[in-house]
Structure 1
Amino acid sequence: MVRKRNTGTEAKIKVAFTQLLKEKGFDAMTVSDIARIAGINRGTFYMHYMDKFDLRQQLLDNALFDLRRILTDSEASGAAAVPQPGTAARQHPSVLDVISPQSTLAALRYIRNDAAFFDAVTRSGHDMTMYEETKKILRRLLEEKAEAMHIRPALGAIPHEYGTEVVVSSVTSIIWLWVRRGFTESPEEITKYIEINKRMTPLSLLR
């Protein structure tokens, strides 16, 4: 997937789409609505997108492209140190180390910096596409890096297919709950929760 160049006009269209998604919902909005709020004519809109469905897909694709790029960069630039749970350093590589806390933090900052869009998508009822695609990104990344590290994505006695699902589902669910709650916590706090979650069983987290 090649990320679409974000021009000034496309940025205005995205802002208009985000506003209408929150105010009217996707089904009720029209291209005329989008063009009016963006301050452009319909012809200009159609120079960039085929219709509102194409617009939505491209916006989702762009966000997912960026998230994959950020999560793939294990040395996420500009990521500050993340508070680590008090666990002893492991002697051998683990599947839990495949997605670094620095990359997680960078991805969370990216989401918060575009909070209006992610909030609108989440509240519109169309967020499951992004949720499932984010899981796919994490699963693919986990499997690729685990293979490069010569480890199997398993959790104890759980087969690797199930171990992978546990990891990617829990991380994605924490992120999406954070979005639904209105970004109440900081990206640093959520990163810390994800790191703790990686190393504890679900029941132990409820104590």
Structure 2
Amino acid sequence: MASATGKRNTKTEAKIKSAFTTLVKSKGFEAMTVSDIARTADINRGTFYMHYVDKFNLRQQLINDTIDDLTRILVERVNPTEPTISQAGKSVVDVFQSQSIAKALQYVKNDYTFFDAISQSGNDMSLYERFKDVLKRLIITQAKHRDAEPQTIYNGIPADYAMEILVSAVASIVWLWIRRGCKESPEEICLIIERNKTTAPADILW
């Protein structure tokens, strides 16, 4: 997390994050002030301003840190040698590897109070869209590892739409899980994502 001084103070920033999460739940994001955050974190206002410009900058930096962590889990540890699966007579890479997804979901569950606070702070869709961007990066990264030639059409669907369909399905499942309180285990959500890969929308309706 970048601070005004360019130095990272994990302990102080952890206290500020905890205070932010608590105050969003108790007062709401709009009502909280920097003084509230400093008092709850047991720091002075000057210390807060050494790390963040204001509460909006704090929220954005927390989201940025979260996306950075998810990127490391999902993208930077990608395994291009993961075995392929057979679908409709074609060999395709399982771009959303269960092991990586499970680690990402466990990360979310471990920090659920923060994700719950963000969803109540009026900025949850920003995090949702950023999460979709991470999934897109994952697909692009794996394609580069496999030296796959980019296509403009996938099964009759323009590439941009095909990408959106793919990442939106996974992101929506994860987001519903968060809004439901992360009640299911990461393994259960991974199973739902796996089943979604081979389940047509019409199969759900009928």
Q: Does TM, normalized by the shorter one, top 0.5?
A: yes
Question: What is the RMSD computed on CA atoms of the aligned residues?
Answer: 2.4
Aligned partner of 2:161 in structure 1 is 162
Mapped to 1, the partners of 2:62 and 2:186 lie a distance apart of 22
- How big is the shift at 1:5? 4.0
Mapped to 1, the partners of 2:149 and 2:203 lie a distance apart of 25
Q: Which moved more, 1:171-180 or 1:158-167?
A: 158-167
For residues 132 and 6 of structure 1, do their structure 2 counterparts lie closer, same or farther at Cα, with a shift above 3 Å needed? farther
Aligned partner of 2:115 in structure 1 is 118
With normalisation by structure 2, the TM-score equals 0.85
Equivalences for residues 78-157 of structure 1 within 5 A: 89-90=85-86, 93-94=91-92, 97-149=94-146, 150=148, 152=150, 156-157=155-156
**Structure 1: segments with no counterpart, 5+ residues:** 76-87
Mapped to 1, the partners of 2:9 and 2:103 lie a distance apart of 20
State yes or no: 1:194 paired with 2:199: no
Q: Which moved more, 1:7-16 or 1:151-160?
A: 151-160
Counterpart of 1:159, as a letter, is: P
Answer whether contact 1:17 1:34 (CA < 8 A) is retained.
yes
Counterpart of 2:49, as a letter, is: Y
State yes or no: 1:74 paired with 2:72: no
Count of aligned pairs: 194
Mapped to 2, the partners of 1:193 and 1:135 lie a distance apart of 18
Answer whether contact 1:135 1:172 (CA < 8 A) is retained.
yes
Q: Which moved more, 1:106-115 or 1:140-149?
A: 140-149
**Structure 2: segments with no counterpart, 5+ residues:** none
Mapped to 2, the partners of 1:105 and 1:10 lie a distance apart of 27
**Percent of paired sites with the same residue:** 54
With normalisation by structure 1, the TM-score equals 0.85
Aligned partner of 1:27 in structure 2 is 30
Show CA shifts across 1:121-152 (max 9, x none).
11333100000111111112212322432165
Counterpart of 2:177, as a letter, is: W
Answer whether contact 1:197 1:205 (CA < 8 A) is retained.
no
SS at match of 1:44: helix
SS at match of 1:103: helix
Aligned partner of 1:204 in structure 2 is 203
- How big is the shift at 1:28? 1.1
- Structure with higher strand content: 2
Mapped to 2, the partners of 1:205 and 1:151 lie a distance apart of 33
Counterpart of 2:35, as a letter, is: S
